[in-house]
Amino acid sequence: MLDAVSASAAVDADWLLGAATGQSAAQRRAHPEQPLAEPAWRRYQGLLQRRYRGEPVAYLLGRCGFMDFELVVTPAVLIPRPETEHLVEAALESPAARVLELGTGSGCIAIALGRAWPNARIDATDQSAEALTVANQNAALLGVDNLRLRQGDWYEPVGTARYDLIVSNPPYIGPAEPEPDQGDARFEPRAALRADESGLAALRIIIEGAAAHLEDAGRLWVEHGHTQGPAVREYLAAQGFEAIETRRDLAGHERISGGRRGAQRHE
């Protein structure tokens, strides 16, 4: 049934069966002779139908793995992807005492950094109140108490605060690109996927605004589309960043770019 809509149909079906029964795969394997109770069977069929219509498994389960932990996810936030783990790994290479994440969504990046650096102060912003509700729930469930969530557009909620590290996975898909209208992405929030200027608008705002919010020698890391590396490096250079570099994802695509803010006179 799911083969027509998913490349991982068997895995999807197993996850949904677990959600319907409340049993782990190990529990089900231990008692293969035990039939499904009628309520569980109805729940399972309902979940299969929703998956067949394209709803992502993560939304159907209400959770998704990221790094070494699990997050609550709802249609108010993007489903965390493995590419974003590379962004966290790059950020963790140099310790930071004050960190800002822009467009936090589920909170996956800020929470990963907060878990790694429990003595750091982590601020995270998002314009969506619904997304911040999810991020707050995840922080509470994972015991991350050094994270402050703020509602507003990009840097607006933090005023004149400065940081050692700014990190972001902003929307970077252009208005005419087809990906958000295909597959699981159809169910994800548009504002977290699409950006004007061929997908570069949010990236430009973040890079141009970093000077007012980074300490001297502070670092900025952003995730971007696989064809956007040259433009992002150009933006970084224009804003005086040094040691600019781009990292590739597991597919070999340029995916993460960043640099170090050079010493300057604060305005």
Clarify whether residues 34 and 111 are in a common domain.
Answer: no
Amino acid at 205: I
The answer on 49 and 111 residing in a single domain is no
Predicted pLDDT of residue 175: 94
Average pLDDT over residues 167-173: 98
Task: Flag whether 216 is marked binding.
Answer: no
- Residue 104, marked binder: yes
- Do 171 and 244 fall within a single domain? yes
Please tell me whether 103 is known to bind a ligand.
yes
The reply, when asked if residue 136 is annotated as ligand binding, is: no
Q: At 183, is the pLDDT very low, low, confident or very high (cuts 50, 70, 90)?
A: confident
The answer to whether residue 168 sits within a structural domain is: yes
For 72, other C-beta atoms within 10 Å of its C-beta total: 20
pLDDT at 266: 45
Domain count of the fold of the chain: 2
Q: What is the pLDDT of residue 66?
A: 97
205-227: per-residue pLDDT in tens?
Answer: 999 999 899 999 999 999 999 99
Same domain, 49 and 83: no
pLDDT 10s digits, 108-152: 999 999 999 999 999 999 999 999 999 999 999 999 999 999 999
Same-domain check for residues 195 and 151: yes
18 is in an annotated binding site: no
Lowest mean pLDDT among 122-131, 160-169, 176-185, 221-230: 176-185
pLDDT of residue 35: 73
Task: Identify whether residues 14 and 98 lie together within a single domain.
Answer: no
Q: Residue 145 annotated as binding?
A: no
Is residue 149 a part of any domain in this protein? yes
Provide the residue range defining the domain that includes 150: 77-261
Residue 170 annotated as part of some ligand binding site: yes
Q: What is the CATH number of the domain that holds 89?
A: 3.40.50.150
Q: Long-range CB contacts (< 8 A, 24+ apart) of 49-56?
A: 51/2, 51/5, 51/6, 51/12, 51/16, 52/1, 52/2, 52/4, 52/5, 54/5, 54/183, 54/184, 54/186, 54/187, 55/184, 55/187, 56/184, 56/187, 56/188
Report the predicted TM-score, pTM, of the whole model to 2 decimal places: 0.90
Find the length of the chain: 267
pLDDT for 31 equals: 65
Return the DSSP state at 175: T
Partnered with residue 258 across adjacent β-strands are 221, 245
Annotated binding residue at 171? yes
107 known ligand binder: yes
Mean pLDDT of the chain: 92
